Amino acid sequence: MVGFTTNFSRMERSDSFIGQSFPFLDAVERASRAATLNRPVLVIGERGTGKELIAERLHHLSSRWAGPLIVMNCAALPENLIEAELFGHEAGSFTGAAKTRHGRFEEADGGTLFLDELGTLSMPAQDRLLRATEYGEITRIGASKPISVDVRIVAATNENLPAQVEKGKFRADLLDRLSFEVITLPPLRVREGDIPILAEHFGRRMSVELDWPNWPGFSARTLAQLEAFHWPGNVRELRNTVERAVYRHEDAERPIDHIVFDPFHSPWAPSAASVATAQAPVAQPPDLEHSEPAQEPAPAAALAAAPTGTSDLRAAVASFERQLLEDALARNRFNQRATASALGLSYDQLRHALKRHKLLDAAA
């Protein structure tokens, strides 16, 4: 297992880089080897896979470790400000430029510049970035003379840049310049054995934050649920899910046995239909004098299908609930998570209902 903990003042955060799976270790090894070379590195990966942590590793294992590590999210700024943010500007070069300002390249001189969300850069910014990487020179907006800078570039994206080149949205020569080494980070769902390790780490850290006397761990069922989940947000989503479960757990002496994967799930959550209804214009009162007699609404299909002619209300309700469960399971091909979502239930609520009606074997 590799454990890499970072705590850098320029990043102003503390995070962890932990795992033992082969895809993860391969990515870490490639980053470690590339760190010693003064060459650009491109980091590819889904959101939450740790691209910024790889950039930190590349910087702090390089000969530039004592220099600055400057981070810029290219998607966080409007297109008309990205160039000024990267390369700086002279006083009076555009409206609002009251004084000369150094750009991120000058701030990173002697160190590393990490460009996150590289694929969102505009074509003019790509042109200037190409010159900076090719010749080590930048020109502030509004200036006539270039400035030499000594900067190593690490860039990251979750987009397919070769495909963007084919579409004419990214410069092929810039991609060639930045892709001396390309490190592709594996998504969490393929990192076999890493989910329990990461969950344990994040859980222990949260228990310390809550001043628990001991760490109770997770129940076997909860660990199985964590490993079965697909984690579209990868390690960042896993961390949030685990920390939320620990924070909501009420008995620090008992293993954590409940996980909420979707924090937005609620029986009172507004649906698209309810929002549209709330925003719809107020209907005008009907013209009662000329209107047709109102017709009774047709009964809902579900109510029409409800059992009738029985004096045992509890049995009728149970029969109707079982029928709803069987129909929902069949419609969702007996996928329990999909069935729970379709019924507006949590996974645990569905499991309890299936157990109550002896349908667990059918849903397995």
- Whether residues 141 and 234 share a domain: the answer is no
115 within 8 A of 69, measured Cβ to Cβ: no
- Whether residues 71 and 194 share a domain: the answer is no
The residue ranges of the chain whose pLDDT is under 70 are 1-16, 92, 95-98, 272-311, 362-364
Write down the pLDDT at residue 356: 84
- Whether residues 75 and 11 share a domain: the answer is yes
Does 295 reside within a domain?
no
Does 337 reside within a domain?
yes
Does 174 reside within a domain?
yes
- Whether residues 97 and 209 share a domain: the answer is no
For helices 79-87 and 123-135, the axis angle rounded to 10 degrees is 20
Write down the pLDDT at residue 99: 84
- Whether residues 229 and 154 share a domain: the answer is no
Write down the pLDDT at residue 349: 85
Does 65 reside within a domain?
yes
- Whether residues 240 and 116 share a domain: the answer is no
- Whether residues 226 and 347 share a domain: the answer is no
Write down the pLDDT at residue 8: 36
Residue 235's nearest CA partner among 2, 50, 54 is: 50
Domain that holds residue 340: 308-364
- Whether residues 323 and 346 share a domain: the answer is yes
- Whether residues 130 and 27 share a domain: the answer is yes
Alpha helices in 214-271 (DSSP H): 220-228, 234-248
143 within 8 A of 101, measured Cβ to Cβ: no
Cα distances (angstroms) measured from residue 197 to each of 17, 50, 137, 357: 11, 16, 45, 36
Question: Residue 278, SS3?
Answer: helix
Cα distances (angstroms) measured from residue 115 to each of 58, 143, 153, 156: 13, 23, 7, 6
Q: In total, how many domains does the chain have?
A: 3
CB-based contacts of 358: which residues, under 8 Å, 6+ apart?
none
- Whether residues 332 and 357 share a domain: the answer is yes
> Which of 205, 232, 248 finishes a domain?
248
* 13-19 and 41-44 strand pairing: unpaired
Does 165 reside within a domain?
yes
Task: Count CA atoms within 13 Å of residue 305 on its CB side.
Answer: 10
Q: How many of the other CB atoms lie within 10 Å of CB of 36?
A: 11
Cα distances (angstroms) measured from residue 143 to each of 91, 109, 137, 267, 275: 9, 19, 13, 59, 51
Six token digits for residue 87: 């390369």
Does 260 reside within a domain?
no
247 within 8 A of 210, measured Cβ to Cβ: yes
Does 282 reside within a domain?
no
Edge to edge, the sheet with strand 41-44 lists: 69-73, 112-116, 152-157, 41-44, 181-184
DSSP-assigned beta bridge partners for residue 305: none
User: CATH number for the domain including 206?
Assistant: 1.10.8.60
Residues 24 and 20: their CA atoms lie apart, in Å, by: 7
129 within 8 A of 121, measured Cβ to Cβ: yes
DSSP 3-state percent helix, strand, coil across the chain (nearest 5):
45, 15, 45
pLDDT in tens, 9-41: 333 344 557 999 999 999 999 999 999 999 999
- Whether residues 64 and 155 share a domain: the answer is yes
- Whether residues 9 and 137 share a domain: the answer is yes
pLDDT in tens, 128-184: 999 999 999 998 888 888 999 999 999 999 999 999 999 999 999 999 999 999 999
Reported as type and span, the H/E element at residue 147 is: strand 147-148
